[in-house]
Amino acid sequence: MSKLVIVGTVAFDAIETPFGKTDKILGGAGTFIGLAASKFNIDSSVVSIVGGDFPQDYLDYLSQQNIDVSGIEIVPDGKTFFWSGKYHNDMNSRDTLVTELNVLEHFEPKVPEHFKDAEVVMLGNLHPSTQMSVLNQMTQKPKLVVLDTMNFWMDCALEELHQTIKHVDVITINDEEARQLTGEYSLVVAARKIHAMGPKFVVIKKGEHGALLFHDDSVFYAPALPLEEVFDPTGAGDTFAGGFVGYLTKTGDYSFENMKTAVIYGSTLASFCVEKFGTERMQNLNDNEVYRRLDQFKSLTQFDIELT
């Protein structure tokens, strides 16, 4: 069975949307990626750090999903990373109310020995130097390295980001970040410039407008499934990444054609994530629901046309 290493935050979130608000709940990029990838019955390990305030029940739950948690460092006298945000009525924009790095401030990832030979590595949104330190711990070159990043690192660690990007096969960023990274408004031109930085594949996420996959001169577009209600967008991008990388780890096929299917799986799982607060929907998701929604995606995008 193929192995997947995921590095990313395991954290507390407090969220407010037009539909309600929560106290501290389970969150973090590593958590959302791990839960989505776990739907593919693979061996995965989340590498992260939490404080002594992090409930053992959460760690037990992740373990029950066949996620190896031995790479999650626990600092007994420390506090877990905490983020709080409030979404606007359009659900596309939000205000960050609180960011407390806590133990994350001095995080030095330690990949478990039995995962240092993993075929696939998913570098969740962290400082580029932290992401690079994970690759340096691998005992053999992974068959696939996927990196997620954001505009914050482009503002304060651009040189380190460029160095790390050279070592990855796939980068996943949103449209705004692609434009900032390249200085190009056209996403086609932006993807070409990112290709030149190192990645063979570029995934540009467009939120409720779907996702684009670029490889050389080939482009694939996957729409987002139209939903009656978006309850909480937190973690949707990470869930997309988890579905994408989980499917690729399961199949072991890293071709452009197979990545098209991986994008659909990522979009499908992300469509569930937004239906409840935090990780609640992902925790109660079963295979039959996923298959039904995949069928909806197929109906949404498939058509017959006669070219005359």
Catalytic annotation, residues: 238
Q: Cα separation of 274 and 181, whole Å? A: 27
Q: What is the DSSP string of 242-292?
A: HHHHHHHHHH---SHHHHHHHHHHHHHHHHHHTTSSTTHHHHT--HHHHHH
3-state secondary structure of 180: helix
DSSP alpha helix (H) spans, 47-186:
56-64, 128-137, 151-156, 158-165, 175-182
| Count of other CB atoms within 10 angstroms of residue 100 | 15
Quick one: the chain helix, strand, coil %, rounded to 5?
40, 25, 35
Judge whether 162 and 197 are in contact, CB under 8 Å.
Answer: yes
Q: Which two tokens stand for residue 110?
A: 């330690």
Q: Cα separation of 185 and 206, whole Å? A: 14
Q: Cα separation of 226 and 10, whole Å? A: 29
Pick from 238, 279, 232: nearest CA to 15: 232
Q: Cα separation of 12 and 262, whole Å? A: 28
